Amino acid sequence: MFMAETPSIAIMADEFSKLVDGFSIGSNDMTQGVLMIDRDSERLGQMGYFDERDPAVKRIIAHLIKVAHENGCTVSICGEGPSNLPDFAEFLVRVGIDSISVNNDAVATTKTLVASVEQKLILERLAEQNALAAGKPLKKPTPDWAWNP
């Protein structure tokens, strides 16, 4: 497992994938690196600047997961984001994260959330297949993490 805590590792995931069997994203460090914001700054935190849900952070994480999977590597994540931000945890499930590490007090809630999101994904895919079979493909909105570098 290789720690992916900087944007450069995510950007070069295709090369690092040749050397490792998996990545572990440090969400706090990755967010700090992408946004170039001191995560310990109380003032910036109160202003909402340090946020794993920022589209730039989500894009780099989604890119890392996609490239890692294309190269046979797994991806896990640790940090405060998945524990404290249910919508961030949902994003991670939607982009195919293999494992999420959360604080002890968030384990039960996060397990329930992940199961719910996985069920939602199955139902969404079934709806897409049914619409396609009926000749009426669904138009899905582009998620804010979509990126084709």
pTM value? 0.88
The domain locations on the chain are 2-133
Helix (H) or strand (E) segment spanning residue 75: strand 74-78
Residue 44 token pair: 């910036």
Whole-number average pLDDT of the chain: 91
What is 2-133's CATH number?
A: 3.20.20.60
The tally of CA atoms less than 13 A away on the side-chain side of residue 137 is: 3
pLDDT in tens, 82-139: 999 999 999 999 999 999 999 999 999 999 999 999 999 999 999 999 999 999 988 8
Is the per-residue pLDDT at 1 higher than 70? Answer: yes
- Amino acid found at 142: T
